[in-house]
Structure formats: C-alpha cells, structure tokens
Structure 1
C-alpha cells in the first residue's frame, strides 16, 4: 500500500489557486474547527506560533478528517527538525528563510529517504506510515511530500530562479514582513519599493515554472 495521495500537491502542480489560513493558537480544537471552514490549506506555525512537536502532532490529528491540507512550518530548515515533523505525519512543509538554491537542495535531501536523500529511516515507529501499516511508505513517501520554501530576504530574491529550478521544490512563498525589513522598510509591507520587488519576484517564480504564494488580506 502506497503513501496516501496529497491532493494539495496535485492541485498545486495543476496550477489551481489555493487559499488558506494561518493557525497560531497551538491548540487542536481551533485547528479542527478551521479544518471544516473550507480552506484549501492551513499552516500550523512552528516558527512564530507557540508550538512544539506534540502540539503540532495534536493539530495534525485534529485535521486528519478535514479536506484542508495541513502545512507545517518549522522554526528553521534543519534536517533533524524536518525528520521529526515528517515522522509525526506532516507531508507538506513551508520552510522559512531559504536564501539560496543550495539551501533548497539541502531541504529536498532532508525530505527524501536514502539513497536519494538524507531522511532518517524510522518508518516502523512513525505515525506517518501508520506505524508500518502502510507497507510501501518508504518507497512512495517522496511522491506525496510537498516542499514549499519561503523567500524572505533580498538574497533569496536575487537567487529566485535558481531556487525555483531545484527539483523537489514544489513552490515558493514570499514572506513580505521579513523581506520588507531586509530591504530597510521594517513594518512597511505596502511601501512601493517592497511591492515592486514582490510583484517582480512572483512573475519570475511563475516564469520559472513553479507556483508562487503570498500573504494577502484580499483574494
């Protein structure tokens, strides 16, 4: 039996728009409620939200009956963090502060089992494989894992084409708050200079053949 299909990843690859919401309360009940509100995806935020591994797992469990895809954002793109998140059942990751194609490639390695990558092989005791009930999990997991990276600095913007070209990166999400601060416009996301950079980056990401994401207050 293969890993369960990631419908969010399939829709993303088909070029369909996906609208979602941030979850920052670190509690399963609000996550479960949001999971029935009709969003395409919901971010469980481990970077700025007060989450730990257990609270993230509880929210993944709360969203297991929802059609909304749980997108987990780790505090940073460390291989050991990613290994733990994947093992507890995360399959779509949003990794912050990815500044280069080299960083992006290292993240791809982190979500894939050897010999293709460096993910630790512990599926027999992992929630992701239903504790080994999904017999073909290690052979099929990579097909259903969705890796999204965040471009949040001018270094990332300058390298955006190379990041987009990394095989295994499924999309690039612009982080406007950190980007505006890096540009010298902290707290001024709407500054014309910031908006010009964001719009240009989105065009370049799409031209490179990858989906682009952004925070917005209006559809």
Structure 2
C-alpha cells in the first residue's frame, strides 16, 4: 500500500514492536543513521539492545535533542546512549545542544537512513509547526521551541531530512489513532508537510491503530 499523496512512501502494518524491531534490523547497514527520541524509539532501542547486532561501519546521529544535560532523563541522546549504544560499546556522537556545533559536525554528511516518530500533535523530529518544516533550506540543524517542557530543542531540518536515502516512520502507542487518520488523509501537520517531499520511505503502523490494512 502506498501513501495517497506521495507514492514514494509505502505503508505497512505491524503486529508488535518486538516483531517490527527484528524486521528493521535488516536496515542497519554501514552508513549514517539518524535516530529519533521519544517513547516509541526508546522501546525499539531496548528491543535492539537484546539482539546480537553487527553495527560495524554505522555512525549514529540524533534527529533532535532537548537542550538539557546529557545525564538527564529528558536527554534523547543520553537515553539512546544508555539504552542502546553503550550495549554495543559504541562511542556516541558528541552531545550536541548547540545547532551551530551540530551543523559543523554534519558538514559533508548525508543520512543513509532516518528513523522518525510522530507526536500526538503531529510534530516530527522537533519540528512543531508546518511553517518551520521547510523554512531553512540552507541549514541542516535549527533551534526550535516545544509547547511542552523542556521547551528548548534542536532539530534536523525538513530540508535535510528529505534528502535522506530512506526514511522510516513508526506510528505506535495509545492516543495515536487520530494521528494515523490525519497522516493517511493528508491533514495539514508538520509530519504530512514533511511526507510530501520524502523521496523514499515507509510508514509502519501498529495494527490496532488502523484495523485491517492490506499491504
């Protein structure tokens, strides 16, 4: 099944995060991979941490980060390191909370694979409004303000994200059924604004959120 407003994006249903995590392992190949924060990906990373993965040649980067101390439970990259990277003795990318420093780190770097989530309000990465998604065509990283604490964030830009070779979006969890309907029906949100320009991607939707779906 394809997304109606972008045929470059496939839609697939999954039974459980456990089974999906094992299916997605096949995508973890040498290259640059950007990981999102949030509850869905924290669960996914914990699933991956129990597997015998070959991560040689992969460099991981954060999609977005909260401007907090690395050791804070609110730190996306801190949680990624503690729950995933450290299990495989991978030294993480520096903890970037300054968009200018992260921009320099990403010089001449493109993403082979990006994992994105979607908030209950339709935001993705730390892009909280439709007008900010593609507002910075010459930047890879920007500062943003979240409606929730901690408010100060940094985020990869929509322009940079859509240049990725492959984008994976996972829709999972209580309260996401309304967002699933809006995503599938192209209701104006940050995530749908982004999806219109994605060159290659897959949306994985938890079956209870959509009922029957034919792949």
| TM-score calculated relative to the size of structure 2 | 0.36
Higher helix share: 1
- Structure with the bigger RCO (C-alpha within 8 Å, sep 6+) is 2
Higher strand share: 2
| TM-score calculated relative to the size of structure 1 | 0.36
